[in-house]
């Protein structure tokens, strides 16, 4: 069980909870902090002084003081009026990741909510209640207001407790109203008290959730990209000197050095490399460490930012002691938006250079005497199309990703009568980057599939061919699932099967075991 303390949640733990369903609990230290901050809220209410987010309106209505007997209505109205998202529902793992991050944020003890609210979120996660959250409608400032309000609809209620005002949730494989899901799970819904509405819906939590999962997936794909690159290098009889450590150390970039070293390890023992009289390869081969390497460094930077964000206090105001409720802007999603744009650009480049290698593998003028389009035999060209269309698909996905990689964080429109005059657009940035990563996974599956076919032909045509230690393991892993077919076939499902090997990390595991 993962213990939540508001300060040490890792991205890998998010994956364990969001994807694998690991249970969570709250630390005693955090429980004490939460209860103390709630006392501070109650002291502010008793004094009657206007404090934003506790006894005032929100946004442009911050100058309107609200009486204590209207506090419950204020918080209920906030959630009802802000749950206006649209678009397809977010995937379950994103919803679970966001719920976990919100628990961790509130567990820091700066938000002034009751312990009961956090315990309710914990129970929802542990029992598998997943609110239906529309994917569109958030600007990332003041945080992900609409998505978080849809989450709050499911766990909160009012005296009337109307079913139609409880949102929707998935529980036990069934989609129902939020009220019905909570009832079936045996979790009481709560009436929100002072400060709790804004504590729930303030902060770029869904942006951070998508970003955390994007970082995890990108890390896997960058490792796969080194494997697919290495297989392409062997299939194209490339020159190993471009990966000489002295070249990369002379430039000093750590990502570049790491990628070159990884390629040397994967191709160790290959009889295909350096088997021609060529002195230089094309950029998509020779310069691959200089492209893959910066993507690795980008991921390292993005992971650091998101790791801090998932352990941050992001609502407003924050409570720091008796009478100290300080209004600020930690809800602003700019850190998430910027690094997601950066990561999206990097992963688009990974897909782009992989597609160029696929192109070279299929072009009979560029692939070192392999059949055009990798048909089984040169004389089959025309009757068979070979790998013609998989390259089309890769090109299409790269073009789409290049469009999606246009930075979203540079776009802003004012809201709330210009009180909120600069918005982060972080959730759009995160969503676009996650789609880029999905596109990249398929492009890499196409490269692996195409390179494996090219290696089959090399092995057949060159006696005693020996693959590298790592590439050989990856090749066998692919061929165990999708055997070589000489003539044209329905390639799509086979490429999908290779993509599944990427996502489940079976190829990576096979390579690690071999090494």
Give the CATH number of domain 209-314+331-411+424-514. 1.20.200.10
pLDDT of residue 460: 96
CA separation for the pair 317, 51 (Å, rounded) = 8
- Kindly report the pTM of this predicted structure: 0.97
Phi first, then psi: what are they for 329, rounded to 5°? -140, 35
Per CATH, 2-203 and 209-314+331-411+424-514 having the same topology is answered no
Of the chain, the end-to-end C-alpha distance in Å amounts to 32
Per the structure block, which two tokens stand in for 102?
A: 């919100």
pLDDT of residue 58: 86
Per the structure block, which two tokens stand in for 310?
A: 């998932």
What are residue 140's DSSP bridge partners?
143
Using alpha carbons, list the distances in angstroms from residue 259 to 246, 249, 348, 417: 13, 12, 17, 50
pLDDT of residue 201: 96
Contact 62, 148 (CB under 8 A): no
pLDDT of residue 258: 98
Positions in the chain whose pLDDT score sits under 70: none
pLDDT of residue 515: 85
Contact 220, 437 (CB under 8 A): no
CA separation for the pair 317, 58 (Å, rounded) = 11
Contact 23, 122 (CB under 8 A): no
Q: Quote the Cα angle for 413-419-422, to 5°.
A: 35
Phi first, then psi: what are they for 136, rounded to 5°? -115, 155
Fold classification of 2-203 (topology level): Fumarase C; Chain B, domain 1 (1.10.275)
Per the structure block, which two tokens stand in for 26?
A: 């709250």
CA separation for the pair 130, 195 (Å, rounded) = 24
pLDDT of residue 48: 87
Is 342 designated active site?
no
Q: Quote the Cα angle for 398-403-404, to 5°.
A: 95
Contact 281, 236 (CB under 8 A): yes
Secondary structure of residue 131 in the 3-state scheme: strand
Residue extents of the structural domains in the chain? 2-203, 209-314+331-411+424-514
């Amino acid at each position: 069980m993962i213990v939540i303390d508001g300060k040490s949640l890792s991205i890998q733990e998010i994956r364990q909870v969001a994807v694998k369903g690991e249970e969570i609990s709250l630390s005693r230290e955090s429980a004490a902090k939460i209860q103390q901050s709630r006392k501070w809220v109650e002291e502010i209410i008793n004094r009657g002084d206007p404090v934003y987010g506790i006894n005032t309106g929100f946004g442009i209505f911050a100058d309107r003081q609200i009486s204590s007997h209207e506090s419950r209505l204020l918080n209920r109205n906030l959630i009802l009026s802000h749950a206006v998202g649209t678009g397809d529902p977010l995937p379950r793992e994103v919803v679970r990741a966001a719920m976990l991050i919100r628990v961790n944020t509130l567990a820091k003890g700066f938000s002034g909510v009751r312990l009961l609210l956090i315990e309710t979120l914990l129970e929802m996660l542990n029992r598998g209640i997943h609110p239906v959250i529309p994917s569109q409608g958030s600007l990332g400032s003041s945080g992900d207001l609409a998505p978080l309000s849809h989450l709050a609809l499911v766990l909160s209620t009012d005296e009337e407790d109307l079913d139609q005002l409880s949102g929707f949730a998935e529980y036990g494989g069934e989609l129902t109203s939020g009220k019905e899901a909570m009832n079936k799970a045996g979790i009481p819904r709560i009436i929100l008290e002072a400060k709790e509405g804004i504590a729930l819906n303030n902060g770029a939590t869904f942006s951070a959730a998508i970003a955390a999962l994007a970082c995890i997936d990108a890390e896997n794909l960058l490792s796969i990209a080194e494997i697919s690159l290495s297989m392409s290098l062997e299939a194209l009889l490339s020159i190993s000197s471009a990966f000489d450590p002295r070249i990369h150390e002379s430039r000093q970039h750590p990502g570049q050095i790491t990628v070159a070293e990884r390629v040397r390890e994967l191709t160790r023992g290959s009889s295909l490399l350096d088997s021609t009289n060529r002195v230089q390869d094309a950029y998509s081969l020779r310069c691959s460490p200089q492209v893959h390497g910066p993507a690795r460094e980008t991921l390292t930077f993005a992971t650091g930012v998101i790791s801090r964000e998932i352990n941050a206090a992001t609502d407003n105001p924050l409570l720091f002691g008796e009478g100290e409720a300080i209004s600020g802007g930690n809800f602003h999603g700019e850190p998430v938006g910027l690094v997601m744009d950066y990561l999206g650009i990097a992963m688009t480049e990974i897909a782009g250079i992989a597609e160029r290698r696929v192109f070279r593998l299929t072009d009979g003028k560029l692939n070192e005497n392999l059949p055009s389009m990798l048909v089984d035999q040169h004389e089959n060209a025309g009757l068979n199309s070979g790998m013609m269309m998989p390259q089309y698909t890769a090109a299409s996905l790269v073009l789409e990703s290049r469009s999606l990689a246009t930075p979203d964080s540079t776009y802003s429109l004012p809201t709330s009568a210009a009180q909120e005059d600069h918005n982060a657009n972080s959730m759009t940035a995160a969503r676009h980057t996650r789609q880029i990563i999905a596109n990249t996974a398929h492009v890499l599956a196409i490269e692996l599939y195409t390179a494996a076919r090219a290696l089959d032909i090399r092995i057949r045509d060159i006696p005693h061919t020996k693959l590298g230690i790592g590439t050989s393991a990856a090749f066998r892993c692919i061929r165990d699932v999708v055997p070589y077919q000489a003539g044209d076939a329905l390639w799509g499902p086979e490429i999908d099967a290779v993509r599944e090997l990427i996502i489940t990390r079976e190829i990576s595991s096979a390579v690690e075991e071999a090494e």
